[in-house]
Each structure stands twice: as C-alpha cells, then as structure tokens.
Structure 1
C-alpha cells in the first residue's frame, strides 16, 4: 500500500473540501507548513499530482478526485468500525448512501426507508433520486436500487422483487379515446414515454402464445423522469407503460386501469446493486435484507 499515513488522507479530504491548505490546516489543528508537507508526502508516495495550484485555491486533478472519492469511503468505514466498538454491537450506525429511481422512491421506497430509519436511530440517510443510473463503482453510493437486467458484471446484485411493466391509463382517457384491445392499437393512442437507462423507451414489447411483437409508440409528452409519465397518465393525458411496483397503488385505487391484460410483458426485475462483495457494511446488508423482505 502506497499511502502510509491515515492523517494524510484526512488532510486530502479537508483540502478538497476547503480548497486551501490554510483552511484545511485550521480544521485539522495543524500548521499550514505541516499541511503542505503532508500533501507533498502523499503525492510523492502515489507518484501523482493530486491538486492543481493557483494563487487563490487548490482544485483536485482527475487523479486527485478519484482518490478523494475512495478516501471518503475508507474514512467512513473506519469511523463506522470505531462507532461499532463504542456502541451496542447489535446497533447499526453510519450513513447510508442510497440511489434509486424517482417514481419508485416517492411511491414505494420512502415509507420503507422511513420505517427502517425509525428502527435504527443510529443511521443517517443520504438519498439520491434520479432515473439516470448511478455509477456505483465511481459515485459515493453504498447501494443503488435499479430496474432491469444487470449491465455491469463487476457489481454485486441482490434481486429485491420480480416485476413486469403494465400498460395503464386513467378511466377519463379511456372514455374519450377508447380501450386498446391489441398492442398494435397503441400506435393510434397518445403514449406517454420516459427514459430508461438514459434512453427514451418507445419500443413496447408484448408476448402471447410464445410469440412476441414490438410496437413503436408515440405521444405528445416525454420526460427523463418516469414520475412525470405516471402523473400525466393519472391526469388522463395518455397511456403509460411502467413497472407494476410503481403502479400498484394507482391500480388498487382505480385511478389507473390496466390494459391488454391477456398479453405478457418482459421481466423488469428490481435489484439492489452494491459496489463490492468483499466487504459490505452491516448497515447496507441490513437495508438490502429489509427491502427484499418488504418488496419480495
């Protein structure tokens, strides 16, 4: 291991946070000269320039930012370990960094996360919601909750729920425009599309008796936030094609009506993605187990 001093990593994080050696030194209770020496020592050990110097501030280089990201994770894990020694060993402590899709979070995950935090008061939650997939290996994420097949074999995945997309519309829309009875009918309807994994999802697939067809749909509204497609559907603006998990409350209440129920759709499972299988903090493992039990 090239990094020999944990205090140098703490210095690295403070410099990245404050942008100056003077401010970092003050926060750590050391002299600016000691801070400068520590940063130079770290750069020499790694053989890389970690910060670009200017007269006003220090800015992390790409190599420096990579080390900052990993150093923060390392410090967090060490602090969690220290806290576990001082706390009841059955208690969970630390920060959970969770990334999840927007509509699933608002409609399904939020009450589950709130209940989990209530059971474990030593935890804090840092939640990032977006339909753009988080880079679990690069971003500061402990667990990412994502739909669909796995795209990165380096990740550790736990299936949380088996789901399939459903075609749905509000009763008001169907009263005005009629009920589609065959997937091809969707080409004549206003279909509300959104992005999956960064790409607009306009090819909807259906199967029956072992045969599959793909229908290219169109409509007057599209968004990179799937929650908007659901809200538009609830308002009677058109037909949406979303996960059964996202829509189950709307269907149960009658706000949305499932369509083409005699046709199959392709599996769209929900996974918890973890950056590494070598060490999974207890807090992360407990959360994943909790979500699997609640959603499975």
Structure 2
C-alpha cells in the first residue's frame, strides 16, 4: 500500500475527528480508510490512535508522528507548487550558443526584451561557429543553421533560410550577370577559406542534383562578415545566407544571381537535449525567437 496514502489517511482522520467524516471527504469507504491506518501502524510497529465508532484518541506516539506528517505533507505541497509554477514562470541561468554572426544579428539583440518579460532569468551567450556539445559543455539551447541533428536532441524550427549568390548592382554592371554555373569562372568570387588557404566550394543544385563549384577570386578569408562587407562594397560575388542580406536585397543594395541553381531552403533551429520537463526559461526563449522571426517584415528590418 502506498506510504503517502497511509500518511494522508492518518492526518485526515485526526483532522476530521472520525473515520466516517474523513472517508466522506476522500470519497472512499470508512473501511478502506481504516485499513490504510492499520497498515501504517503495522509498518511502524506502534499504535497511533485508539478508535471507536464515535471517538478517536491519539497515543503519545501518534501525537509526535502527526506533527512530522503535517510537516511532510506541507513540504510536499510546497514542492509541487514550486515545480508547477516553474512551468509557467521562467527563472534561472539560461546558457545559449549561436553562430557568431547570426547570434549578433538575430539572437543577442532580443535578450533585453526577453529579460524585461522574464526578470528572474540571467542569460549567457557563446557566439561561435563551432558546433558545441550541448550536454558536455553545459548549454541549455543552441541555435543551429541547417545540418544534421543528433537524434538525442530536440530541434525546433525557428525560420527558413537559403544560401544565394549576390553582388551589388554596380559590380554586375561592370562584370556582367552570371547566367550559368560555368560563368562563375569569369567572376571575382569572394570565397571562404579553410586553414592553409584552400578555398571551399559553393554548393548548388542542377537538374535536381547537388553540385559543388570550386570558385576563385583575389580575396578570401575565414570570416563571413568580412565577405559580406566586401560584397557590399562591390568587390565581387559572395555566397551568403538570406538571414544576413535580406534587408539589402529589399533595398536593392544587393542582387541575387543564379537563383535557378540555389539549394532548397533549410531550417534555422533551436536545439536542446531531450528531457521530460523542459525548463520554462528554454521554452519561453525559443517561443520568443520563433514569434519574432514570424513577424511580417522581420528579416527586412534586420
């Protein structure tokens, strides 16, 4: 028999003054309630109360045990209240990882507004292009852009993204508009490099199949924001994400080319470890970002 039910039966009977009244409050029979108290006394090896059809009287052991039982049940009620409220109130330290440039543009700027709504939360950001180990490194949530997700994690779609080739109108007037993937060899392509100066390919699709194009140019670096700046200055073509350049596209400051070869959209995601009870601080933060990104014109406002 459940120990907690035995203790609750004991306290109820004492507080109601009889088995009958306590049983009525619990919507069970007095016999069932009496059996729970009998089982409690047998388990403890002491007599807690003397019972008759009309009266009950606590023994000395019963009086001492009653005080402890009331404290136990009160503590349990408080613990359940705290946990239940925690599902609706964000508290604690929220540790967030995000890609460097994306985090600076579309995650960290929303922290003050989130904290204004949830003043009992503290946020720490680690903005890095490295894929972090959420569990080992102690992150609550990571923002990921595309890529495979470990099945032991939960991935929530926040928005869609696409990689496009873009340039300024001035550059395209001077150098011409590429119409096919082969035309890229005639252009100054601002490429991302790896260690040792090896340039990374640009990825497309052609006739429904993925294609990797090796590109060349007189400038390359390992910093996406610098590539973005060079493209904005008219120095060449760049392969960028729409989350980064949407405002410039809307303003006509950058123009996309080779759109027929662009890869399908992929997801910007919030990723966190699977857990039975997701902390409110994580749930509300993810919901906040998702709501902001869904606002009409958000990506144009930047």
TM-score, scaled relative to structure 2: 0.62
In the alignment, the residues of structure 2 paired with residue 205 and residue 144 of structure 1 have an alpha-carbon distance, to the nearest angstrom, of 25
Query: Which secondary structure state, in structure 2, belongs to the residue aligned with residue 161 of structure 1?
Result: strand
Q: Shift of residue 287 of structure 1?
A: 0.9
Q: Shift of residue 201 of structure 1?
A: 7.1
Query: Which secondary structure state, in structure 1, belongs to the residue aligned with residue 189 of structure 2?
Result: coil
Corresponding residue for residue 190 of structure 1: 188
Q: Which runs of 5+ in 2 are unaligned?
A: 1-78, 295-302
Corresponding residue for residue 258 of structure 1: 256
Within 5 Å, which residues of 2 pair with 1:173-212? 173-194=171-192, 202-212=200-210
Corresponding residue for residue 291 of structure 1: 289
Tell me which structure has the larger Cα radius of gyration: 2
Query: Which secondary structure state, in structure 1, belongs to the residue aligned with residue 269 of structure 2?
Result: strand
Within 5 Å, which residues of 2 pair with 1:230-245? 230-245=228-243
2:219 to 212, 218, 221: 221
Corresponding residue for residue 153 of structure 1: 151
Within 5 Å, which residues of 2 pair with 1:74-113? 90-113=88-111
Indicate if the aligned counterparts of 1:131 and 1:226 stay in contact, CA closer than 8 A. Answer: no
Within 5 Å, which residues of 2 pair with 1:30-109? 90-109=88-107
Indicate if the aligned counterparts of 2:87 and 2:280 stay in contact, CA closer than 8 A. Answer: no
2:112 to 108, 111, 114: 114
| Post-superposition CA distance 1:97-154 (Å, at most 9, x none) | 1111122122222333332222222222211111122221221211110111224232
In the alignment, the residues of structure 1 paired with residue 115 and residue 218 of structure 2 have an alpha-carbon distance, to the nearest angstrom, of 40
In the alignment, the residues of structure 1 paired with residue 122 and residue 198 of structure 2 have an alpha-carbon distance, to the nearest angstrom, of 34
Query: Which secondary structure state, in structure 2, belongs to the residue aligned with residue 111 of structure 1?
Result: helix
Q: Which runs of 5+ in 1 are unaligned?
A: 1-80
Corresponding residue for residue 36 of structure 1: none
Q: 1:194 to 1:273 in 2, by over 3 A?
A: farther
Query: Which secondary structure state, in structure 1, belongs to the residue aligned with residue 216 of structure 2?
Result: coil
Query: Which secondary structure state, in structure 2, belongs to the residue aligned with residue 172 of structure 1?
Result: helix
TM-score, scaled relative to structure 1: 0.63
